Amino acid sequence: MGDVVRESARAGRLVVWEESARDGAQAKTLMPGPFRVRLAREHGAVFGADGPRHVVFAAGFPAVCAEEFEAVRQVAVEAEGLVSVAAVCRGTLADVRQAVASVRGTAHARVMAVVPASEAMARVMVHQDARTALAAGTDLVKAVRDLAGDEVAVDLCLADASRADHLLMAEAAAGFTAAGAGTVLLADTVGRQLPVEAAEMFTRVGAAAGPETVLGSHLHNDLGLGLANTLQALRAGVRVVASSWLGLAERSGLVATEQLLFLLAHDPERAALLLGPADPTGERATGRASGQAAGRATDQATDPATELWWRAPDLTRLPVIAALVSEQTDVPLTVTTPVVGTGVGTISTGTPFVDPDLFQPYDPRALLGIEPSIVLTQLASTRVAGAVAARLGHRLDADQARAATAWIKRRAYRTGRAVVDESAFAAYLGGLTQDDPEAPA
């Protein structure tokens, strides 16, 4: 069976390396095996039959304990054919053998070994210099090939790539690829990169590694730049990008999967602006320079946004999956969470109520399946109050609408909470519409 992830990336299609069950555990969360299976299936369903070509689901770190090994194995078996399942491990032969065992015998199985790339990280992780540590990665690739042949694809993640020598990483990545590696992910392990630095790293490493090497990104969000840096990687031609639902990962997390997918899929014309121009052969200039667009057929569409998908993602599934992850992990969806938060599609003030489309960047109902809702707060206008009253079965005249609006504001300040409970408002309306405007709050 071919490496569908490598094939997809080389064809210019996006592959999401989903980390919420693996790196997400470092956000002090724990996903039991059955939930990981469900999440993998749900994520694959975003792309339908093309799930394995668009999603690598990092199922876990088998070396943690026997329970973790079993959870990874469960995902590999029960989500088989819906996503590409990966086991992640340290760069030791013992860990590699264990990781292979956890996914072996299933379709689209992968193993990713983490290898230090910077001098400082190499000294801490393996007590060697960076060149020696990176050279060991080739042995790991060969070990997987000896153990499983083409049955299990092998990937390398270069830890602390953001502080490593670009040419040294390129040399190593080319060696990994020649030995049979599918992809090589460059990690900003501590989330310190600036966008200009990320652009330089992916462009230089990709160009020097050569057209056969498929690079990926694994960029943390400690400075709040994970998404911006991932976009720079994409502009450099990278097509395998790590993310996690709700951004779950170590410290401040990774790029949020729901934000990444929505940004790249909801408006193809704007996505094309993010990714950069295409040339007449169908290869983006920056992608060709970094070697990621090699092998793309010249008769494909030249719009880089449309080239991203074998099958465009079903964006209406994003809020559903985000809610599942939030419930399982106790990580809340807040009013300011982009794309899937509780504030999406809500109206609480007057002018947006008159023309909602003018006050939102996209249509949440059409794109995400999120129905618009009106929320009562201290900012309510008479239009807002009247609309909620009508939904509750009360028709207000002008004077009643003004009284109801004043009641809403008083209630909010009296309770110290912006959102006014609709059941309390309904009780108030019961008295108001019976000609009792002084009904108690």
Please report which confidence band the pLDDT of residue 294 belongs to, taking 50, 70 and 90 as the band edges.
very low
57 φ/ψ angles, rounded to the nearest 5 degrees? -100, 105
Which class does domain 4-324 fall in? alpha beta
Domain locations in the chain as residue ranges: 4-324, 345-441
**pLDDT for res 286:** 36
**pLDDT for res 1:** 66
**pLDDT for res 52:** 98
* Entry pTM: 0.89
**pLDDT for res 299:** 35
Lowest mean pLDDT among 52-66, 87-101, 141-155, 352-366: 352-366
Average pLDDT (346-366) is 84
Please report which confidence band the pLDDT of residue 297 belongs to, taking 50, 70 and 90 as the band edges.
very low
Please report which confidence band the pLDDT of residue 306 belongs to, taking 50, 70 and 90 as the band edges.
low
